[in-house]
Amino acid sequence: MSHSSGAPQHWARIQESGSVAGMRIMVWIRRHLGRLPFRVMLAPVILYYYLGRALPRRASRRYLERIWPLHAGSPPRWRLWLGLKHFMAFGQSLMDKVDAWSGMPLEVRVTQEDRRCLDQAIRSGRGGLMLVSHIGNLEICSAMSDTRDDFHVTQLMHTRNSRKFNQLLDRSTARRGPEIIEVTEITPATAMALAARINAGGFVVIAADRVPINDGGRVRHIDFLGAPAPFPEGPFWLAALLRCPIYTMSCLREGRAHRIEFQPFDDTTRLRRADREAWREDAMQRYVTWLTDQCRRYPLQWFNFFPFWQIDDRHAR
């Protein structure tokens, strides 16, 4: 999605300003000093970031104003405190990522239905595409794949930030992370590489709630929490092209435990070429409905700290 020179920065460029050195220090503290020192250090770091970064703070506030009535039945009170809790939840997710890749025991809950769906998907040998979002902590799902020889996951990433963090975890924990394919746009060559992995029984994970930085403007504006927001067509174009089973997956924190949700979404194996456009439109709307429900149930775990809605873009300029 392109903007004029007066437009706000793309989310990927905004997030590239994060300090890898700072993350390395926090990972070292968690690994070598333990949970309590990490939490003690995390609080001032998050407070500094919250007070010093106006754009993420404003984006968080506007998101919480939209989602809180759906979650709690009324507009948010104590907005500053709620925003700080949103940032702290993001910081907590950092510790969870380190724990997951360090092999530390984590309490993970999976309902019988979700476990049955996951086991059936793996045993089928057909592989598939997993649609995810930036809610919760997917690294725990990826770490889970490292404990199962029959669950092979490839993550499709659109920015260098995730690669930096995963490389940091690899060096700090001496564990093999998930296979990551970094792309700036989804091309036919990308689709061919991913099709090979799915045909071998693997699963491809792709987030469908952020627009790639060089995706040629292929977005669809869909009503999300009361206002139009841009969602990328690329993941759904890819899903139609790969002709495979499609699932949704998320990992949400509940107290000290994590809840993994895995459900069938669709299957494009027999989707006709003439029906692809209509299917994409319907599938994108169903995905936004799923994302809305995820945010309604776990509002502080959707980590998008940049202007997301069109009206927020105009304000950011």
Q: What is the distance between the alpha carbons of residues 62 and 224, in angstroms, rounded to a whole number?
A: 13
Angle at 181 between CA 234 and CA 12, to 5 degrees: 65
CA nearest to 124, candidates 159, 87, 150: 150
Higher pLDDT, 179 or 126: 126
pLDDT band at 271 (very low <50, low <70, confident <90, very high): very high
For 149-186, letters b (16+ CB in 10 Å) and e give: eebbbbbbbbbebbeebbebbeebbeeebbbbeebeeb
Residue 302 phi/psi, 5° resolution?
-95, 110
pLDDT digits (tens, 9 = 90+) for 173-205: 555 556 777 766 667 787 888 999 999 999 999
Q: What is the distance between the alpha carbons of residues 96 and 139, in angstroms, rounded to a whole number?
A: 8
- Residue at 182: amino acid letter: E
Higher pLDDT, 293 or 187: 293
Higher pLDDT, 113 or 148: 113
The predicted structure's pLDDT at residue 75: 86
Section 249-255 average pLDDT: 92
The predicted structure's pLDDT at residue 1: 40
- The pTM score is 0.86
Average pLDDT for the chain: 82
pLDDT digits (tens, 9 = 90+) for 31-90: 788 888 888 888 888 888 899 889 999 999 999 999 999 999 988 888 999 999 999 999
pLDDT band at 313 (very low <50, low <70, confident <90, very high): low
The predicted structure's pLDDT at residue 29: 82
pLDDT digits (tens, 9 = 90+) for 209-219: 988 665 556 88
pLDDT digits (tens, 9 = 90+) for 109-122: 889 999 999 999 99
pLDDT of 18 > 60? The answer is no
Q: Which pair of structure tokens corresponds to residue 15?
A: 């997030």
The predicted structure's pLDDT at residue 4: 40
pLDDT of 160 > 60? The answer is no
In the chain, the percentage of residues whose pLDDT exceeds 90 is 47
The predicted structure's pLDDT at residue 238: 92
